[in-house]
A and B are shown apart, each in its own frame.
Chain A
Amino acid sequence: MIWYLIKNNLKLMFRNKAILATMVLGPVFVIAMLSSAFDDLMKSYEKAGKFKAGYQVEGGSFWENNMETIKKAGEESGIIFLEYPDGNPEELVKSGILSGFVKLGNEKYTIYENEDKETEGIILEYFFSRCLKESAGQAVQLKAPGAASGNFGISLQKLDYMPAVNASDYYGIIEMVYFGFLGVICIANVFISEKKNGIIQRFQITSLSCFKLYLAKWIPAVAIMASGILAASVISSVLFGIHWGNLVISAILVLLVIMAGISFGLMINAIFKNMAVTVIILFTSTFFMGFFGGSFETYMYSRLPETLKNISPVYHVNRALVEHSCMGHSGYTSSCILYFTAIIIICTVIAVLADWAGKRGKGRR
């Protein structure tokens, strides 16, 4: 019986041309807008080339033992580290001799940047943040056992320092993720029609379970949204020449994002039973996830705290997709799959339970 429900929900969604057009043309329009707006900025990152950065190391800090490794990694990334044990960092940076300076202490490190060389400053920040955050599988590894005592080393194999991505590739990929997460919008008209016309009451006089009702919305929404994003990707790839890297992995990741986004949206709707509230919450939460995940400002050069970035699921998928596009591989693929699978499962369970509780609640009101 669920098949007929899915089929008719699909028809209802397909007949809402405005939403379909928005879901296909929306990403293309936003990609065109953002990639042209940030094109110059991202080109400036590409132009940064090699630059000199000074450093001072506090005696006895863990940096001291690993400085050679860091210097080698820096060299590969276009940063030439020069030691200035006695110099005044501010003066050295202001004079223009150095593009940046880093003071490596036992508990913290301080980066001095030149206002005129903002790009180099951001790259320097990103480099040290990467040095600390990257774990096994990445070029710079923190040896965990000694980490607690502060007595750990950094070993260099090869630094996977993000090469400069052009604006079209970056925004062409991440906007698909952003729109993909808003997938529940395409089924909004079905919910509105059901509520407005009292169809929910009719469903109650059937043996349809809450889970079947959920699936009857989830499956067509995923199908429609996946088709929409596929169409948008093809159009944007043709128009802007976007490189997706590994197509299979990218397709799987984007599909996971769509599934998770729809599960998330359906969960909100099951809790609040109001599409307007659902849309507001969905857009707000996706905006914040995108804000911390690099959907607007590129995550590579964003100054937002790493913890906040890591909390955002959008950051994981953005990073995985962009790295697949420009490096051919990414250490974020598995975390991204885990993150989104967990969202799908948790949101599905909550949505079904909320729907079930709602029915019982309505009965007992």
Chain B
Amino acid sequence: MLYIQYSLCIWLFYFCIYVKYDFSHTYNRSFFTSVYKNKSAIISLERENYINKTIAGERKVFMSEVILKTKDLTKKYQSKTVVDSLGLEIRKGEIFGLLGPNGAGKSTTMNMVCAITRPTAGSISLLGINPWKQKKEVIHRIGYIPQELAVHGNLKAWENVELFTSLYGIKGQKLKEAIEKSLEYVGLLDKRNEYAKNFSGGMKRRLNIACAIGHNPELLFFDEPTVGIDPQSRNFILEKIKESNKNGATVVYTSHYMEEVEAICSRIAIMDNGKVIACGTSEELKRLVTNGDKDITLEEVFLTLTGKQLRDYI
């Protein structure tokens, strides 16, 4: 009996070591690689808290480690509470959708998590680190694609990518390779020498993404990346988001387009008045409203949960 207990202890010890090291090696900076898919399945199966979810109706992804966690996250602007005691848990390998009407607090939440806007209260754990205390340790592991087209019009496409990628300490040959990879990734390699000001809306959006992925981040934040672009560009961007997720990146995505969110997100949180009012897979959200009685779209779920009145916010 003692021998069995001893063997179990040894086995458990080795198992812990294996999980710990394999985990870090597999997930670290794997944006452009595809090792994630196989390894993650093994690890996640051995952990109990996996979620089995179909994404875009074709691929099974198992998620485990919590990569982003907020607890009682609050942001107040004078007397107005924009984000109210928000609690979120986003797991590694997810495409997590944040839905909400204008002024719901989606962008503010993203800004707080990315260490742009300081929270009034609450805690954030981003990749196991508090971004407001150890910004330098975590900042190069995340990519933020802002809602604005944050590129210089008077710089060429490659110069824009060079500028923003170099800010993460990448230089020389590595920087050149990163620029090439990023531009190729968003399909702008042949337009590398064109000025950004001459780009169409869709091309600018793609360049915006290229500027945020050059440093090969593990966690990507997309703040409404498909606003004002044609269906082809939108489809391209969504495919790329799925591809990057397939290659190992965790994605946090905000949008007003329900069909987009439904198509690419493994879990969705609906926010209103600074609070998460519902969270789960799109099926779970639909069940929440209809009890599975009738077929319903995500937009109907959204309107049922958030109401139909106009949201004018300042």
Hey, which bits of chain A sit against chain B, CB under 8 A?
1, 3-5, 8, 11-12, 15-16, 189, 193-194, 197-199, 201-208, 360, 362-365
On whether the beta carbons of B167 and A1 are closer than 8 Å, the reply is: yes
**B147 contacts across to A, CB distance below 8 A:** 198
When chains A and B are docked, how far (Å) is the Cα of A202 from the Cα of B146?
8
Q: Interface residues of B, CB < 8 Å — how many? A: 36
7 nearest interchain CB pairs?
A363-B118, A198-B148, A4-B166, A206-B167, A8-B163, A207-B136, A198-B150
- Given A4-B166, A4-B171, A5-B167, verify A205-B152 contact (CB < 8 Å): no
On whether the beta carbons of B117 and A207 are closer than 8 Å, the reply is: no
The one of A4, A193, A201 that contacts B116, using a Cβ cutoff of 8 Å:
A201
Hey, which bits of chain B sit against chain A, CB under 8 A?
77, 111, 114-118, 120, 135-136, 139-140, 142, 144, 146-155, 159, 162-164, 166-169, 171, 175, 211-212
User: What is the predominant secondary structure among interface residues of chain A facing chain B?
Assistant: helix
On whether the beta carbons of A11 and B166 are closer than 8 Å, the reply is: no
User: What is the predominant secondary structure among interface residues of chain B facing chain A?
Assistant: loop
When chains A and B are docked, how far (Å) is the Cα of A207 from the Cα of B164?
12
When chains A and B are docked, how far (Å) is the Cα of A319 from the Cα of B117?
49
A1 to chain B, nearest CB (A): 5
List 21 A-B pairs, Cβ < 8 Å.
Answer: A3-B171, A5-B163, A8-B152, A8-B163, A11-B159, A12-B152, A12-B154, A193-B154, A197-B148, A197-B152, A197-B153, A198-B147, A198-B150, A199-B152, A201-B146, A201-B150, A202-B144, A202-B211, A205-B114, A208-B167, A363-B118
Given contacts A193-B152, A197-B153, 15 further A-B contacts (CB under 8 A): A1-B166, A11-B155, A16-B154, A194-B152, A197-B149, A197-B152, A199-B152, A201-B148, A202-B144, A202-B212, A204-B116, A205-B139, A207-B136, A208-B167, A362-B118
- Given A12-B152, A197-B150, verify A205-B166 contact (CB < 8 Å): no
Considering the complex, give the chain B residue whose CB is closest to the CB of A202: B150
**A15 contacts across to B, CB distance below 8 A:** 154
On whether the beta carbons of A8 and B142 are closer than 8 Å, the reply is: no
**A193 contacts across to B, CB distance below 8 A:** 152-154
**B114 contacts across to A, CB distance below 8 A:** 204-205
Considering the complex, give the chain A residue whose CB is closest to the CB of B153: A193
Considering the complex, give the chain B residue whose CB is closest to the CB of A360: B118
A276 to chain B, nearest CB (A): 19
When chains A and B are docked, how far (Å) is the Cα of A41 from the Cα of B53?
88
**B115 contacts across to A, CB distance below 8 A:** 204-205
- Given A193-B152, A207-B136, A207-B140, verify A202-B169 contact (CB < 8 Å): no
A48 to chain B, nearest CB (A): 54
On whether the beta carbons of A8 and B155 are closer than 8 Å, the reply is: yes
**B120 contacts across to A, CB distance below 8 A:** 364
When chains A and B are docked, how far (Å) is the Cα of A194 from the Cα of B152?
7
When chains A and B are docked, how far (Å) is the Cα of A203 from the Cα of B135?
13
When chains A and B are docked, how far (Å) is the Cα of A15 from the Cα of B115?
33
